[in-house]
A and B are shown apart, each in its own frame.
Chain A
Amino acid sequence: MAKTVEGLYYSESHEWVKVDGNVAIVGITDFAQHAMGDLSYVDMPEVDDELEAGEEFGAVESVKAASDLFCPVSGTVVEINEELEDAPELLNQDAFANWIMKVEMSDPSELENLMDAAAYEAMCANE
């Protein structure tokens, strides 16, 4: 039911990472938006926030619950997607076309700790 995109990295906490040079573009997966239902708020990090891999950096919220977001790789936030502040529903419409933040990676080797699309799909199938 939920789709994935080839060529991205995936975390166990349902974030995706697209690598652009030394920058990690981070969003939530289609599986995650589907599980949450209609989103009404995205709690964004701030530019220049320094994040460790696995650190909470914000949240997506539906009517009934808040779900924390965890940074898949260490680094510094260089840009946030301000469009989501007024239109969180964009994540429901297309979770892969709408990123949440861009992180300048301090240790790109951490990408190896993440999953590829096939491994992520297998994990979701067990949830």
Chain B
Amino acid sequence: MEENLLKTCLYDKHVALNALMSPFGGFIMPIQYTSITDEHNAVRNHAGMFDVSHMGEIFVSGPDAEKFVNHIFSNNVTGIPDGKILYGMMLYPNGTVVDDLLVYKEFEPDHYLLVVNASNIAKDYDWICAQMDGFDVEVVNASDSWGEIALQGPETEKFAVETLGLKPAADLGFYTYYETEWKGARMVVSRTGYTGEDGFEIYCSHETINEIWDILLAAGVAPCGLGCRDTLRFEAGLPLYGHELSDEITPLEAGLGMFAKIKEKDFIGRDALAAQKEAGLTRKIVGIELQDKAIPRAGYPVEVNGEQVGTVTTGYRSISTDRSVCVAMVDKAYTELGTQVEIRIRKKVFPGIVTKKRFYETNYKK
């Protein structure tokens, strides 16, 4: 194990549960406790919880906060109500992605919380600070002092309300949150997640996160590792930075143009996206389903008539649908639904058909 890996505040809990631990985003994280399949099914059918304390929390506030967030963020925060959450990206001027993130409109005027990917915390913070010229804002990276648990699955409302006593959680709509206190310490509870199921993400101090973990574990919520976090988000058509999004991919190519409001406002990368839209995309992320049981994996070539026309970004034998499926970045000419392609898996090629990139019907609370 590398010496310089960071531990989340729940590290000892994972070790106590005998989790398989592996590096992810600079942290030593639980991959699985029992089996990826069992944990995946727990989230789809009941309730599971993830330690996502590695995620970054960056607070932006000040008289120009709305203007500044709109400058660096692809989605439009103009006038959104307190407690509203938006998904979107920060872009480079060329339209490729610094990171994808959630922006929480806090319950104070001119205050926003940005939740970013663990592997990008330092890069994001530096990027945000480098854009501050001419804006009257304060930016604080509080990632080291916040812990986070993602409680996910169709039964999670019951655990939030009855087990944790978070009664207002029942009234939260999808992508909204409320603030409360747990023994006097600040707690953020949002109806968000990364699994395609209903669920909540709970942010609070390290000490409180440990208490919450123990209470949920004792109540029968399955501890779930990053292994099934990836199979779940993949089936639900959700991107992972470094795979479907990166500093070489634009939101339009990733099929996430709805989160980049190029007609509504200006923001860093906006002009590049507008130009790309005008010129037409040359490639796009699509879903591909294989007829065979062979499993397409990230990096495998997508071919037509023996020529490479794309690359798999994520692929699995889908646990919930029992089909071999992947998402891939493919040349525009081969992105129409129903297009026949082949995927090279080691020495053989397997026929596949272009599909939508969501393989599982999501069950969000509207």
Give the B-binding residues of A (Cβ under 8 A): 37-38, 40-41, 43, 56, 58-59, 61-66, 68, 85
Whether the Cβ atoms of A59 and B346 lie closer than 8 Å is: yes
Q: Is B240 engaged at the interface, CB distance under 8 Å to the other chain?
A: no
Whether the Cβ atoms of B346 and A43 lie closer than 8 Å is: yes
Inter-chain CA distance A85–B294, complex, in Å, is: 10
Contact A41/B294 with A63-B227, A63-B231, A63-B316 known, Cβ cut-off 8 Å: yes
Whether the Cβ atoms of A56 and B35 lie closer than 8 Å is: no
Whether the Cβ atoms of B36 and A61 lie closer than 8 Å is: no
Chain B residue nearest to A49 (CB atoms) is: B347
Contact A56/B36 with A40-B317, A63-B317, A64-B31 known, Cβ cut-off 8 Å: no
Within 8 Å by CB of A61, from B31, B37, B227, B295, lies B295
Whether the Cβ atoms of B295 and A38 lie closer than 8 Å is: no
Which residues of B are found within 8 Å of A63, using beta-carbon distances? 36-37, 227, 231, 316-317, 319
- Shortest CB-to-CB span from A109 to chain B, Å, is 27
Inter-chain CA distance A68–B345, complex, in Å, is: 11
- Shortest CB-to-CB span from B135 to chain A, Å, is 43
Give the A-binding residues of B (Cβ under 8 A): 31-32, 35-37, 227, 231, 293-295, 297, 316-317, 319, 324, 345-348
Whether the Cβ atoms of A43 and B36 lie closer than 8 Å is: no
Which residues of B are found within 8 Å of A41, using beta-carbon distances? 293-295, 317, 324
Whether the Cβ atoms of B35 and A37 lie closer than 8 Å is: yes
Which residues of B are found within 8 Å of A66, using beta-carbon distances? 295, 297
Which residues of A are found within 8 Å of B297, using beta-carbon distances? 65-66
- Shortest CB-to-CB span from B257 to chain A, Å, is 31
- Shortest CB-to-CB span from A77 to chain B, Å, is 13
Q: What 8 A-B pairs come out closest when comparing CB atoms?
A: A63-B36, A40-B317, A61-B295, A41-B293, A41-B295, A64-B227, A38-B35, A38-B37
11 A-B contact pairs sorted by A residue (CB < 8 Å): A38-B36, A41-B294, A43-B294, A43-B345, A63-B37, A63-B317, A63-B319, A64-B31, A64-B36, A65-B297, A68-B346
Which residues of A are found within 8 Å of B316, using beta-carbon distances? 63
- Shortest CB-to-CB span from A101 to chain B, Å, is 15
Which residues of B are found within 8 Å of A68, using beta-carbon distances? 346
Chain B residue nearest to A64 (CB atoms) is: B227
Chain B residue nearest to A66 (CB atoms) is: B297
- Shortest CB-to-CB span from B160 to chain A, Å, is 28
- Shortest CB-to-CB span from A25 to chain B, Å, is 22
Whether the Cβ atoms of B36 and A37 lie closer than 8 Å is: yes
- Shortest CB-to-CB span from B190 to chain A, Å, is 28
Chain B residue nearest to A59 (CB atoms) is: B346
Which residues of A are found within 8 Å of B294, using beta-carbon distances? 41, 43
- Shortest CB-to-CB span from B256 to chain A, Å, is 25
Whether the Cβ atoms of A56 and B346 lie closer than 8 Å is: yes
List 14 additional contacts besides A37-B35, A37-B36, A61-B317; criterion CB under 8 Å: A37-B32, A38-B35, A40-B317, A41-B293, A41-B317, A43-B294, A56-B346, A56-B347, A59-B346, A63-B37, A63-B319, A64-B31, A64-B227, A65-B297
